[in-house]
């Protein structure tokens, strides 16, 4: 009987199913959003341009006698660069001076004759017609003196033009002609000079950005860069931060219908000449006025087709979806323009297991900035390694 009862108990235990354990409450980490007063920055790419870019050409023709500068270095306004053979122009100047002296001698003689004629006309010893002829000769001689003096000045200018000087302060290119080369006045390019400091950063902006700026200016949120020197920060190709700073100086008066963009440039100080025309850069331009925003980690934001939302913990300990309007990154965190409050507890992990209205066990974590404000989103370029080396 004992064995029979034991067998029945074992059979009943085998046939019965164990009840499932109750589901565990999900554990998540939550943070309070950071509060910041932020401004938006719009990204652009462009290149540096010289404020002054001059092709140096001679004003006179002749053979290059000497070259007086070192190629590729800084030159100053008025510095001598080339010497064109001055001998033909010096000879022409001497001839002009001789013509001036001759004209002055004739005027002196005409003046003496007119003085004698004045005495004779008073004594009625000569006719009125002869006296007026003497007056006309003096006026004609005086005009010849003025013409000769102007010719001397012109020839003296030609002599001065035999020394070609730098028209601006800047950095000079290589020489385009050699000693002995015949150059034509106003035609032959001798070299090129570009100004160094300040320097322009030129870029093209999309029509959508232009429309945004115009509307902001009308609403008083941000002044137009056409009239206000809005700040521009620039990062070079091999840099990690925005080291260079400038101010907006120019916005074009029309949008290019082919590209749908508008030209603009900023002015950047360049005292040591580090920046050169043609250099590539990535810039950020002030894109808004200051506004108050919440900052949360990017991983807290869930994207559902065209909708973005975060999970927050309600007073009852259950999850609630909050649609949000996002902005750019600030200090490594995502800007939330609208949708959450400073007192909300935002879920930052375990999002895959969450649904609206799910009770969770929240672990509060302190949120800290993850990066500096000038952290770029692009990858800096690096110089290639040397192909070979030699020992010393």
The pLDDT, as a whole number, for residue 131 is: 80
CA dist 6 to 10, 14, 16, 208, Å? Answer: 6, 12, 16, 85
The pLDDT, as a whole number, for residue 390 is: 45
Query: CA nearest 382: which of 278, 239, 233, 283?
Result: 239
Tell which phi-psi region holds residue 192, choosing left (phi > 0), alpha (psi between -120 and 50) or beta.
Answer: beta
The whole-model pTM stands at 0.75
89-116 burial, b at 16+ Cβ within 10 Å, e below that, comes to beebbeebbebbeebbebbeebeeebee
> How many CB atoms lie under 10 A from the CB of residue 27?
12
For residue 41, give every residue at least 6 positions away whose Cβ sits within 8 Å of its Cβ, in sequence order, or none: 233, 284, 285, 286, 287, 328
Distance separating alpha carbons of residues 233 and 43, to the nearest angstrom: 10
Q: Is residue 134 within 8 Å of 110, Cβ to Cβ?
A: yes
The pLDDT, as a whole number, for residue 306 is: 81
Distance separating alpha carbons of residues 361 and 26, to the nearest angstrom: 6
CA dist 350 to 28, 313, 314, Å? Answer: 6, 13, 17
The pLDDT, as a whole number, for residue 195 is: 96
The pLDDT, as a whole number, for residue 305 is: 78
β-strand partners of 335: 295
Q: Which tokens belong to 204?
A: 């093209």
- SS3 for the chain, per residue? CHHHHHHHHHHHHHHCCCCCCCCCCCEEEEECCEEEEECCEEEEEEEEEECCEEEECCCCCEEEEEECCCCCCEECCCCEEEEECCHHHHHHHHHHHHHHHHHHHHHHHHHHHHHHHHHHHHCCCCCHHHHHHHHHHHHHHHHHHHHHHHHHHHHHHHHHCCEEECCCCEEECCCCCCCCCEECCCCCCCEEEECCCCEEEEEEEEHHHHHHHHHHHHHCCCCCCCCCCCEEEEEECCCCCCCEEEEEEEECCCCECCCCEEEEEEEECCCCCCCCCCCEEEEEEECCCCEEEEEECHHHCEEECCEEEEEEECCCCEEEEEECEEEEEECCEEEEEECCCCCCCEECCCHHHCCCCCECEEEECCCCCCCCCCCCCCCCCCCCCCCCCCCC
Mean pLDDT for back-to-back runs of 10 residues, the chain (392 residues): 55 54 78 91 95 96 96 96 97 96 92 84 81 87 94 96 96 96 96 96 95 93 94 93 94 95 96 94 92 91 88 90 90 90 91 86 88 55 55 62
Residues in the chain: 392
Place of tokens 């001679």: 58
The pLDDT, as a whole number, for residue 377 is: 46
The pLDDT, as a whole number, for residue 374 is: 53
Distance separating alpha carbons of residues 232 and 242, to the nearest angstrom: 9
Sign of the four-CA dihedral 293, 295, 298, 301 = negative
Query: CA nearest 168: which of 298, 238, 81?
Result: 81
């Amino acid at each position: 009987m004992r064995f029979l009862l034991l067998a029945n108990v074992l059979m009943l235990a085998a046939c019965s199913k164990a009840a499932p354990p109750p589901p565990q409450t999900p554990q998540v980490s939550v943070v309070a959003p950071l509060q910041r007063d932020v401004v938006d920055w719009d990204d652009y790419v462009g290149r540096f341009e010289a404020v002054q870019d001059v092709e140096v050409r001679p004003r006179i023709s002749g053979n290059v006698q000497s070259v007086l500068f070192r190629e590729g270095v800084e030159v100053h306004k008025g510095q001598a660069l080339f010497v064109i053979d001055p001998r033909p122009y010096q000879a022409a100047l001497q001839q002009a001076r001789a013509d001036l002296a001759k004209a002055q001698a004739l005027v002196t003689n005409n003046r003496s004759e007119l003085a004698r004629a004045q005495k004779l006309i008073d004594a009625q010893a000569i006719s009125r017609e002869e006296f007026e002829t003497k007056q006309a000769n003096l006026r004609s001689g005086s005009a010849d003196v003025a013409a000769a003096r102007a010719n001397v000045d012109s020839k003296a200018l030609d002599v001065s033009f035999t020394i070609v000087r730098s028209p601006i302060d800047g950095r000079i290119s290589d020489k385009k002609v050699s000693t002995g080369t015949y150059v034509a006045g106003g035609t032959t390019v001798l070299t090129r000079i570009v100004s160094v400091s300040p320097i322009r950063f030129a870029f093209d902006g999309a029509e959508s950005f232009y429309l945004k700026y115009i509307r902001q200016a009308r609403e008083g949120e941000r002044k137009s860069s056409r009239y206000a020197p809005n700040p521009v920060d620039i990062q070079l190709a091999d840099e990690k931060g925005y080291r260079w700073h400038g101010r907006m100086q120019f916005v074009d008066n029309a949008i290019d219908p082919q590209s749908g963009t508008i030209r603009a440039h900023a002015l950047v100080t360049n005292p040591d000449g580090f920046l050169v025309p043609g250099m590539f850069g990535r810039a950020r331009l002030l894109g808004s006025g200051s506004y108050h925003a919440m900052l949360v980690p990017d991983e807290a934001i869930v994207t559902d087709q065209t909708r973005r939302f975060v999970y927050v913990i309600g007073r009852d300990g259950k999850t609630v979806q909050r649609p949000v309007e996002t902005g750019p990154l600030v200090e490594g965190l995502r800007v939330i323009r609208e949708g959450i409050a400073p007192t909300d507890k935002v879920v930052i992990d375990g999002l895959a297991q969450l649904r609206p209205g799910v009770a969770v066990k929240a672990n509060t974590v302190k949120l800290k900035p993850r990066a500096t404000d000038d952290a770029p989103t692009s990858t800096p370029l690096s110089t290639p390694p040397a192909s070979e080396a030699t020992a010393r």
